[in-house]
Amino acid sequence: MQTDLDMNGYRVLNSNNYIHGYLNTRNGNTFKLNGLDKILIPQKSIIKAIDVYYPNYQSAYPRQKFKINLNANGLIKQEYDLSRPNQYNKLTTRLLVVHPTPFVSVTALSPVPQNVEIMMLLTYIVP
């Protein structure tokens, strides 16, 4: 029997890992990722998908832009735009994390809607 799963000392490779994010725009424009404003993920990770969810029902959801910083000083970044926002949005990507200090942080870009809660789920793999 053969499988693509590599346990490598109990560390599962090539499987999905998740980062949970939350933003309440009353408190600023930086997402809390697993409870922190930035987190460290393994080098050479690949961010595969970004799910964005507005937990409070509204008749119309705001267009939103956000930026993912991939290192501590923000030099490596990627911007995303929810041009047709729904209550639930899924973006697929293949964002490589190759910087020697792979910090990840997510920031909402201007104009930031007032008093809006946004939840985010980043899905990544470690090859």
- pLDDT digits 0-9 by tens, 7-36: 556 666 678 899 999 999 999 999 999 999
Q: pLDDT per residue over 68-118, tens digit each?
A: 998 766 667 889 998 888 999 999 999 888 877 788 999 999 888 888 999
Inter-residue contact 125 to 47 (CB < 8 Å):
no
Is pLDDT of 54 > 50?
A: yes
Read off the tokens for 88.
């639930």
| Burial (CB count within 10 angstroms: exposed 0-12, middle 13-18, buried 19+), residue 8 | exposed
Q: Is 88 helix (H, G, I), strand (E, B) or coil?
A: strand
User: Could you state, in order of their start, the residue ranges of all structural domains in the chain?
Assistant: 17-125
Residue the block writes with tokens 């946004």 = 118
- What is this structure's pTM? 0.83
Q: Which CATH superfamily is domain 17-125 in?
A: C-terminal carbohydrate-binding module (2.60.120.1380)
Inter-residue contact 69 to 103 (CB < 8 Å):
yes
